[in-house]
Amino acid sequence: MSQSVAEIRIQLPDGSTKTFDRPVTPGEVAASIGSGLARAALAAKVNGRVVDLDHPITEDTELEILTSKSPEALEVLRHSCTHLMAQAVKRLHPEAMLEDGPPTEEGFWYDIRTDPPLTPEDFPAIEKEMRSIAKEALPIERQELSREEAYRIFKERGEKYKLDLIERIPEDDTISTYRQGEFIDLCRGPHVPHTGVFKAFKLLSVAGAYWKGDAENEQLCRIKGTAFPTKQELDAYLQMLEEAKRRDHRRVGRELELFMHHEWAPGEIFWLPKGHLMYRQLSRMMSDLCRQEGYDEVFTPLLFKADLFKVSGHWEHYREDMFLFDDKDENQFALKPMNCPSHMLIFREKKRSYRELPMRIHDQGVLHRNEASGTLSGLTRVRQFCQDDAHIFLAQEQIEDEITALIGLVKRVYDLFDMQFSKVCLSTRPESYLGEKESWDQAEKALSNAIEKNQLDCTINEGDGAFYGPKIDFIVRDCLGREWQTATIQLDYQLPARFELKFINRNNEEEMPVVVHRAIFGSFERFFAILIEHYGGNFPVWLAPEQVRVLTISEKHEGYAQEVYEQLQSNGIRAEKDFSAEKIGAKIREGRMKRVPYLLVVGEKEASSRTLSVRSQQKGDLGSMPLGSFLEWINREKSAVF
């Protein structure tokens, strides 16, 4: 029997099919499967696109009902919670003007203007009103409007920021609003079906934000919050935030005296002795790894004539983020924001042969970027920094093998820190780019093949590539489950062309090389911040600036304690001593507060038996052991290689 023209076939994720003789919505499909699913449904995916539960289905479709267990549903829940918060604010402050409020990976935010501005003291009242709206279980309804009708609605409500948003919507785009009770907002959606689904939410912070991000415009309040399907998930997240505060690299950096800032050097780091020791440790280990992997390390100038960056394209695409000035002869100069242009000059310095390729250049030189003062933050956003930077010049046929080797190298480094990759992101051609579309397509295909070959979980970031080429960004998860973008591999056909780079290939013909830009740590400063928070200052022995501290119970035991200290030093162990008159309990507390991996207590018993009472920061009291046994123990932990 032939299928009726009116029939609509719905393909479900389990492979089953449901047939309807009329247009249907995802919510109706969920109800036809079961009342439990209908109650749990938050949104749906129609042919891979997330939509509302009342989205009309008029043709054969692949459908997935999204519940709180679906990853995509969390974003819909948080997006909808921005409207819940905005409605609560409008009920409490009818004069408030709303701008925009998107979901984020951690929650949501909304920019709002009130007089006076909202503060954290307002949060309890706003949250109480949000709970009240949730109890009302107001239906959330989508409506598509003409531009004129949308403009009329928001003009009547005095929402000037919404009128501006309407004016910026392209002529051929659909204008949609969502209504819940008396509240209506301009939004693309999708949203949850009603306000009754909100069970667990929390407002977290408020900060200033300029309208449209322009400091010339009025300032709004950016209220940040988060939402989860259950209170248990919310509580776990809030507990993680508290732990993150305790681990904040700025706080731990001060406590452990690793680095400092000063108002006379905004965005620049003073590395104190202990922090500098750790910094140099990471730097040396990366240099050693690169040398083993066939890299040549160089050091290039900090200051260049602006002409270099005009050739590279940075002048056109990056000038606002560079430090620029003139010399006495009125020549314009710039502090380099990245190493790649100088490495192009090194390659171009003499004729190159295919036998030299891949040619790998590693550089840990100082870089400067003119970040806005309001964005500067600890070690994560600075103006002066160094990268474990490298550029690899290679022939087209060498790309996939080299990228595969680099992926293995990145995994090898992060394994040492017990940081696992959650995913990689492939960032493709941005709107403003150098070169031809064909070479970009070629570069993106090469990176995609390498990702597939290495069986990596990949997310595509459309349009997020550098202006000169696509890139792979590695996302790692720390011990708190937070994700960080760290290593990056970028493929570049543009700079070799702009610098007219050539090598002589196997056919004795000139050929343009391809360049791979890669950093494994990224910037040392930002990576250092990630490590501090990942370990909470409790660094592994090989990285800790102070590996062992020798403590005396009284001055009578200083002779043996000094002997122990000298033995540690002669074994290449970073040891300190505390022979002060403080009581041993206070000395132990101080050592633990400074996160020293091992404390060695020396008293009458230890001095007479020539042993040590060993306390581990991680494992607690390890009991008594001879000095020789402790040296064997710590020698296994005191150093590491990638």
In the prediction, which pLDDT does 456 show?
85
Q: Read off the pLDDT band of 214 (50, 70, 90).
A: confident
Residue for token digits 């494992």? 619
Strand partners, 423: 475
In the prediction, which pLDDT does 501 show?
97
pLDDT digits (tens, 9 = 90+) for 354-369: 999 999 999 999 999 9
Query: What is the average pLDDT score of the chain?
Result: 93
pTM of the model: 0.84
Residue range 599-626: mean pLDDT, rounded: 95
Residue for token digits 């925009």? 100
Model confidence at 286: pLDDT above 50: yes
Cis previous bond, 430, omega within 30? no
pLDDT digits (tens, 9 = 90+) for 372-431: 888 899 999 999 999 999 999 999 889 889 998 999 899 999 999 998 887 899 999 888
In the prediction, which pLDDT does 452 show?
86
Separation of alpha carbons 553 and 603, rounded Å:
5
Longest dimension (CA), the chain: 102
What separation in angstroms does the CA of 575 have from each of 6, 243, 520?
81, 29, 30
Model confidence at 3: pLDDT above 60: no
Q: Is residue 578 within 8 Å of residue 549, measured between CB atoms?
A: yes
Q: Read off the pLDDT band of 2 (50, 70, 90).
A: very low
Model confidence at 186: pLDDT above 70: yes
% of residues, the chain, pLDDT over 70: 99
Residue for token digits 């997935």? 64
> Token pair of 610, please?
């020539």
Model confidence at 4: pLDDT above 70: no
Q: Read off the pLDDT band of 71 (50, 70, 90).
A: confident
Catalytic residues: 340, 369, 387, 389, 391, 471, 517
- Residue 179 exposed, middle or buried by CB count within 10 Å (0-12, 13-18, 19+): middle
Contacts of 187-191 with CB under 8 Å at 24 or more apart are 187/83, 189/51, 189/52, 189/79, 189/142, 190/43, 190/50, 190/51, 190/52, 190/55, 190/76, 190/79, 190/142, 191/43, 191/52, 191/76, 191/79, 191/80, 191/83, 191/140, 191/142
In the prediction, which pLDDT does 423 show?
84
Residues in the chain, total: 642
Model confidence at 540: pLDDT above 70: yes
In the prediction, which pLDDT does 1 show?
39
Domains of the chain plus CATH, in order, are 8-67 (3.10.20.30), 72-245 (3.30.980.10), 265-300+337-535 (3.30.930.10), 548-635 (3.40.50.800)
Model confidence at 172: pLDDT above 90: no
> Token pair of 625, please?
């052991």
Separation of alpha carbons 570 and 9, rounded Å:
78
Residue range 600-612: mean pLDDT, rounded: 95
Comparing 151-155, 346-350, 478-482, 512-516, the range with the smallest average pLDDT is 478-482
Q: Read off the pLDDT band of 5 (50, 70, 90).
A: low
In the prediction, which pLDDT does 436 show?
80
Residue for token digits 């009472």? 613
E strands in 478-547 = 483-492, 503-504, 510-511, 514-523
Q: Read off the pLDDT band of 616 (50, 70, 90).
A: very high
